[in-house]
Structure 1
Amino acid sequence: MPSIPPLVSLRKQGKRPTEDQVSLPRIPIPAARAIVDCAVYVDGVRLPGKFTHTAAIMEVRKRGAGFAWIGLHEPDEGQMASIAQCFSLHELTVEDAVHAHERPKLERYDDLLFLVLRTVKYVEHDVHAISEVVETGEIMVFIGRDFVVTVRHGDFTGLGGVRHALEANPQRLALGPTAVLHAIADHVVDTYLEVVKQVERDVDTMEEEVFTPGNRVDVAPIYQLKREVVELRRSVNPLSTPLQALTSGYDGAIPKEIRRYLRDVTDHHTLVAERIAEFDEALSSLIHAALAKVGVQQNTDMRKISAWVAIAAVPTFVAGIYGMNFEHMPELKWTYGYPMVLVFIAIVCTVLGYTFHKNDWL
């Protein structure tokens, strides 16, 4: 009798095969699905028509002038492998482009420059709530002699505005792929400046609340903002080394004209890094001040509790004495004994309340 295949036998027994027992074929998705825009530029002007990444680089090399700019959004391994084969990208850079989560860096592979930039976005939120303040993404830029490949990770990392701005300035775009590199770096650093301004607003709000007399302080939102500033610092500060390398020319890879523009980007980045360091120090001081204020608030609350306990102890003490089962007690048989005891308790409690209030315990 012929043997029953394992998967068929499992299904007949009412069992579901595991992932290890079932190997479904993976349908490759073409690289065109990940390409957001693909264009050929000659003398700073975009050529009309639509191009695939293969047709674009063939057109550039057939003309012997211009360059191709291919923009991708979160490609998978198969899509990136197709791009890498077309543009002869190094396998290590391809792996970084697919998996992302890289620190800002600049690497050179023969005639190829590979730049990683971390992007940041300010998330609108309630300052008093514990929520995300800064969202991060990544942009990888491959720069060759006659091509630019940009790979974006994140929903807010679009470069459409950068492309349109460059297309409106043919003289800048005519400088070649490094002009695109500068424009992207400038765009990313400009977003850093915008985020820093918005974070500064949050820090100012925190300072105002901490140092407002009589205002109760919640330390948790300050800790959250501190953590988000640390995340912002990790995304921004490492970019200083790549920018300095690009500004110095990087062994002749960056033209002199582009280096002039990059110096301005470096200055803005330095300003951002300094502001983030100030935020970090200010929030550390705010945490200490907030903790001290919380301690004072707790001491004040304890004094109030202690004052009320002392006042409540008077009637408790008197009631405890007269609750004893003795026959011969002062004023036990006296007609006015009970009212006098109540008057005595009221007088003592009033005196204690006045004394505590005068000493700011109540």
Structure 2
Amino acid sequence: MTTGTQESVRTRLWRQGRLAATDFPFAEVSDYLEEDGALVWLDLCDPDHAQLCELAEELTLDQHAVEDVLAHAERTKATRYAHHTFLTVYATRLTVDAPPDSLGSRLRTSRVSVFVLPRGIVTVRRADAGSAGFDMEEVLRRWDDNSDLLQHGTAALLHGLLDVIVDGQFDAIQSLDDTIEDLEEGLFDDRAQTRVIQRHTYRARKELVELRRVVLPMREVVTAVMRHREENGNSVALDGWYADLYDHVIRATEWTESLRDMVTTVFETNLSLQDARLNTVMKKLTGWAAIIAVPTAVTGWYGQNVPYPGFGHNGGVVSSAVVIVGAAALLYVVFKRRGWL
């Protein structure tokens, strides 16, 4: 195999759990995969169709899985084929540099396709729109920190990769949780702008929908990996690690469920508060209209072309002023006690 460049291809080789070689030529991958006791990792970043087809032919990869790598908006899943297991998962992160009034989603997803072979894994990373792609450095660090597990084969490599992806999903969920809590605090702040809260609530709901689309299926993915791993007979040493990974996936799923309830509550509470504020404004307008109507009524009455008490005398002006001020003050006190003003 001669396809690929140093910039787009990364390789590693372990023997008996110990790192034996890094960044070796692409053409040597298939030879190492046939070696007993060898464990291989091959990483491709945004490969083209020709490169994937050559890889599939060399490693006997199913063509349906190859097409899934190239397809757009492929869902999170785990599929078992004759010679390998194929996974599609998404790394996530929530950006913080978005414009405050932007309605666009801040969630960035990066697709990672994984071919799980008997003696190694092949990762294919593709960046979605607005994303720089998934960085494998944290995965490599996780493998190095738990190098004793690598003697158990591909299950250890796959666990390290999935663990980093699930941790990234946790970080995105935490950031979204903080955003929703800020929205809750702003609901009862009289200085907060209702339009801003509405825009941020809409954006949070949009981001949560996108996040749930990639987080919820992770439960089935991890379950399928654990089941296939047990069938291969190498489950004992990694049982605790995979049980912990599965627990994290369940917690992430439950957390997104609670966030959905929270953002729905924020949305409904905001509408209720708007109605309450509107009722308050209407009561105030009604109260002031009633107060203004008193002098209008009095002056209109005294303006009729008929004699009235004090007509033609200064006392009439004084009495009309007293009636106006007294009636308006009485209405003001009554409305103020009832909370209309």
- Shift in Å, 1:304: 0.8
Match of 2:157 in 1: 180
Distance 1:322-1:78 versus aligned 2 partners, 3 A rule: farther
2:249 and 2:6 map into 1 onto residues whose CA distance is 34
Describe the SS at the equivalent of 2:89. Answer: strand
Indicate whether 1:165 and 2:164 are aligned.
no
Query: What SS does the corresponding residue of 2:209 show, helix, strand or coil?
Result: helix
Equivalent in the alignment of 1:205: 182
Change (3 A) 1:340 1:262: same
| Residue number among 210, 225, 243 corresponding to 1:263 in the alignment | 243
Report the CA distance between 1:72 and its aligned residue.
1.9
Residues 278-327 of structure 1, C-alpha deviations (whole Å, 9 max, x = no match):
22223333333332222211111110111122222233444555677x4x
Q: Pick from 80, 94, 97 the counterpart of residue 108 of structure 1.
A: 80
Size of the aligned set, in residue pairs, is: 330
Aligned match of 1:120: 92
Contact 2:125 2:133 in 1 (8 A): no
Contact 1:104 1:239 in 2 (8 A): yes
Q: SS of 2:264's equivalent?
A: helix
Cα distance change on mapping 1:54 and 1:317 into 2, 3 Å: farther
Q: Secondary structure at the match of 2:114?
A: strand
Q: By how many angstroms is 1:34 displaced?
A: 6.5
User: 1:39·1:69 contact (CA, 8 Å) conserved in 2?
Assistant: yes
Over the aligned positions, Cα root-mean-square deviation in angstroms equals: 3.2
How far did 1:41 drift? Answer: 2.6
Check conservation: 2:92, 2:168, Cα contact below 8 A.
Answer: yes
Residues 329 and 264 of structure 1: CA distance in aligned 2, closer, same or farther (over 3 Å): same
Between 1:283-292 and 1:114-123, the stretch displaced more is 283-292
Unaligned runs of 5+ in 2: none
TM-score by length of 2: 0.82
Offset of 1:112 from its aligned partner? 0.9
Q: Distance in 2 between matches of 1:50 and 1:277?
A: 42
Q: Given the alignment of the two structures, is residue 225 of structure 1 paired with residue 204 of structure 2, yes or no?
A: yes
Distance 1:345 1:141 in 2: 84
CA distance in 2 between counterparts of 1:329 and 1:97 reads: 96
2:66 matches 1:89: no
Unaligned runs of 5+ in 1: 1-29
Query: TM-score by structure 1 length?
Result: 0.78
- What secondary structure is seen at the aligned counterpart in 1 of 2:159? helix
2:65 and 2:51 map into 1 onto residues whose CA distance is 14
Kept in 1, the 8 Å contact 2:14–2:21? The answer is no
Matches within 5 A, 1:239-278: 239-249=218-228, 252-253=231-232, 255-256=234-235, 257-278=237-258
SS at 2:73 equivalent: coil
Q: CA deviation at 1:109?
A: 1.4
Against the structure 1 CA distance between its residues 53 and 126, is the aligned structure 2 distance closer, same or farther, given a 3 Å change threshold? closer
Task: Label 1:34 to 1:89 Cα distance change in 2 as closer, same or farther (>3 A).
Answer: farther
Pair 126,357 (structure 1): closer, same or farther in 2 beyond 3 Å: farther
Contact 1:108 1:114 in 2 (8 A): yes
Distance 1:323 1:274, change over 3 A: same
* Aligned with residue 190 of structure 1, among 163, 167, 181: 167
Residue 106 of structure 2 is aligned to residue 143 of structure 1: no
**Paired residue for 1:45, among 11, 14, 18?**
18
The percentage of aligned residue pairs carrying the same residue is: 23
Give the conservation status (yes or no) of the 8 Å contact 1:39–1:56: no
Residue 34 of structure 1 contacts residue 79 of structure 1 at CA under 8 Å; is this kept in 2?
no
The 1:37/1:293 distance shift into structure 2, 3 A limit, reads same
CA distance in 1, matches of 2:154, 2:261: 39
Kept after mapping to 1: 8 A contact 2:92/2:108? yes
User: Is 2:291 the counterpart of 1:311?
Assistant: yes
SS at match of 2:207: helix
Q: Which residue is 1:10 aligned to?
A: none
Displacement of 1:134: 3.0
Q: Equivalents in 2 of 1:32, 1:254: separation in Å?
A: 36
Task: Name the amino acid aligned to 1:107.
Answer: T
Whether the aligned pair in 2 keeps the contact of 1:34 and 1:74 (CA below 8 Å) is no
Residues 126 and 298 of structure 1, relative CA distance in 2, 3 Å threshold: farther
1:262-284 superposed Cα distances (whole Å, 9 cap, x missing partner)? 22110111111112212222333
User: Matches of 1:215 and 1:56 in 2, distance apart?
Assistant: 59
Q: Is residue 2:202 matched to residue 1:235?
A: no
CA distance in 2, matches of 1:246, 1:357: 68
Q: Secondary structure at the match of 1:137?
A: strand
Residue in 2 that maps onto 1:67: 39
